Amino acid sequence: MLLYAWTMIVTSLFAAVSLSMSQPQEPVTAVVETRVAQGDLAGRATDGIAAFKNIPYAAAPVGPLRWRMPQAAPTWQGVRDASMPGAICIQPPANGDPGVGPLPMSEDCLNLNVWAPTESGDTPLPVMVWVHGGGLNNGSGTATLYDGARLARRGVIVVTVNYRLGRLGFFAHPALRHATTNGDDMRGNFGMADVVASLQWVRDNIAVFGGDPGNVTLFGESAGGVVVTRMMVAPQARGLFHRAVIQSGLGREAGTPSFIRRADGGPSLEDRGVLFALGAGLSLNTTADELRALPAEALLSPPPSFYGGDLLVIDGRMVDRDVADAFAAGRQAPVPMIIGTNSAEFWWMKATDRSPYGQTDDALTRQEFAALIKAYGGEDAYNGNALSDFIFNEPARHLARLHARAGNPAYLYRFDVVPDPNPEPQHTGATHASERPYVFDNLWTLTWPMGERDQQAATAMADYWTTFARSGDPNGVGRPEWPEFGQNRDQLLEFTNDGPVAKPVPFADRLDLIEAYYARVGPDRR
């Protein structure tokens, strides 16, 4: 049965002509049409999975709409070709990150992509909405790494989203504040507002693809995981998703509102906006029109810093406090949550380095530092692992505890799968972002060889993730049990080279010391 109102109108567009019954054929690709609120779409279906790409979920944020809340998506006449990915958002060079899709690059980038089975029966399917990482500076939902076909074959619908990045997505200036009306500015969090708009589009349109708007899982990695934590506490996102997956998504960002000058005298977000405008040749009293007239490429230099606080915005509306504080107050969305990290996140940085994530341990007392060195078994081990624990591992455990304490299902994981041969032999463990092709079961997109062991790990992760999307519980027949976190046991599921295994949280003594440190120094030092 064809899915709902879809029409399959052309077959074998790209099929190879077989000269004999024994000659293998290329997969048959067909044009499929459906209608969303804005108009008709023509996508492509291959091997039972339909893909619709470059669907605008909001108006192009250009000209007078730059640095404004996302506006209503455009409509069109006739049938819109949805066979090719849309433009990626304005960003600096990706330096080889496979999480960035192909050019062109444009401010007109608020588009999303949908993968759905062409046959699903009469029961609406769970929906998984992916938020890419990249430090809020890079990335796109159009990357081949995030192709949703293999997840969709497990009986879900996958949506990947572009959102505004860098200074186009996270920027403030007094001229913009004074030029807006009706709270339109959202205090610099335009990229976050884009994600809310994409979820609203999913709510209003996903049923025509066979999806259930009442069963949406929001999942993301790195900065995308940070976006998910922010959506967990944003009133504007409440009710738009029903499960959450946070992959290496921090959790203890600084608690001081970004628009307030920091206690250490550091500049506010608007202060940094003024400094940028001066550097771009504008005056101290520049206008909103003058800012909006700047070429988009001019906003890339000097590059803004996710890590230095240029892009993590506590705006007082969408996000009014540190995420950990919101979780502690029980103000997060009461939805089932998976949260976890990789075993060697930023292995190349020391906690003491003057680097984007460095100087994390500056406020340690001598006694605290000595206790940590002892727990790590020496200074070398501390230097190699502490940053991952301060920034990723302890915060993930902390949010899982708070979520479980509030009575919500929480599942903690640790990813420790390393390809053989290891493409990064200078260290052991799973580096930051290395879990992405496993979650999407897209090992075929990588440029180094992957073996059967890796495919088994990818199959397991994709199965856990899609089962969680279906029911809010990742467990299923034929897989090791993933224990719910809390309930008087701090256990997680570790993805290892030998398969998933449930176990107590590794290195808990280290994390306990870091937790005590954070409790002592307070939110401004998180």
Where would I find the beta strands (DSSP E) of 249-397?
337-342
**Residue 360: C-alpha distances to residues 96, 251, 328, 352, 433 (Å):** 28, 14, 22, 7, 21
Three-state DSSP at 43 gives strand
d(CA 266, CA 23): 68
DSSP string, 290-331: HHHTS-GGGGGSSPP-TTTTSS----SSS--S-HHHHHHTT-
Reply yes or no on whether 345 is catalytic: yes
Reply yes or no on whether 18 is catalytic: no
Q: Which tokens hold the place of 247? A: 């992959």
257 and 167 Cβ atoms separated by less than 8 Å: no
Contacts of 258 (CB under 8 A, 6+ apart): 172, 188, 268, 269, 309, 312, 313, 314, 315
Reply yes or no on whether 432 is catalytic: yes
74 and 148 Cβ atoms separated by less than 8 Å: no
Residue 148: how many other CB atoms lie within 10 Å = 23
d(CA 198, CA 292): 24
d(CA 431, CA 43): 36
337 and 424 Cβ atoms separated by less than 8 Å: no
Q: Which of 345, 394, 435, 484 is catalytic?
A: 345
202 and 213 Cβ atoms separated by less than 8 Å: yes
User: Which H or E element spans position 394?
Assistant: helix 394-405
Tell me the sheet residues that pair with 112: 55, 161
Q: Which of 120, 222, 248, 388 is catalytic?
A: 222
Q: Which of 173, 403, 432, 434 is catalytic?
A: 432
**Catalytic annotation, residues:** 222, 345, 432
